[in-house]
Amino acid sequence: MIPFSARRVIETALEEDLGLGDVTGSAVVPAGSRCRVAVVAREALVVCGAEIAAHVFWRLDTDLNVELALADGAAAEAGGRVLYVSGPTRPILAAERTALNLLQHLSGIATATRAYVDRLRGSAAVVCDTRKTTPGLRELEKYAVRCGGGRNHRASLADCVMIKDNHVAVAGGVAAAVQRARAQAPHVARIEVEADTLDQAREAADAGADVILLDNMTPEQVHDAVEVIAGRAIVEVSGGVTAESLAAYAAAGADVLSTSAITAAPRRPDLGLDFLGQQ
């Protein structure tokens, strides 16, 4: 089973690639041709989207036999086989690009996330995504982050209260914004406040924020803010978080390191479909 959002993405992707048919497959591949293929990792990567790819193939022919060689979240070595498909050749080749596009995109996110997570080994800090995701793909991209060992931030504006600079401006200050949130938000919703300065971090902690997001601060500034917050809230750091700066921010006392780099512009790893023979 895959989420409804994934089915919707598959339908959209296949429609833009196959909405008017596959003229090459129809012209070149005999109607009764059958084959066996494998999706192969051309480089080391973290697999994500194998089941999504399987459903792409099944969407074109429910009788295709798809075997997953590696589960989502597994590490694949260069040359490793991720999945096998066997059955009628035409639907296999017609589904190839769509299946690989989704598998490459999600595996790229999972692989990038794993690289970030590995840099924090031995630290209590965790890597988290943001809402800077591809429109229509958020649920899948956040799933890919989890496959890479990362954590998810809110999936939508309804998940928690997150008071940012413009909210503070409208409310008339951090304390006023937190007070309104406490009065109006569901009792189960955490309240997070974005702080750009040490004074804002102090004000957020004094106001009773559950989470304080230190935005675009240096590791040294984060260290000072952590001392001011003094354990009264979870400390999240965002803005300028890179693979190279992760360890410094963790050492400064951050609990959560959120970054859009793992979802917004991950490098797509090389995956290909290899023909294993006719049946």
Active-site residue list: 97, 132, 164, 194, 215
Closest CA to 125 of 257, 274, 261: 257
Residue 218 CA to residue 220 CA, distance in Å, equals 5
- Amino acid (one-letter) located at 248: A
Partners of 40 in the beta sheet? 81, 272
Quickly count: other Cβ atoms within 10 Å of residue 120's Cβ: 18
Helix (H, G, I), strand (E, B) or coil at 238: strand
Contact (Cβ atoms closer than 8 angstroms) between residue 164 and residue 216: no
> Locate tokens 């194998």: which residue?
50
Helix (H, G, I), strand (E, B) or coil at 236: strand
- Integer angstrom CA distances of residue 37 from 87, 88, 96, 238, 276: 9, 11, 10, 43, 5
- Amino acid (one-letter) located at 48: C
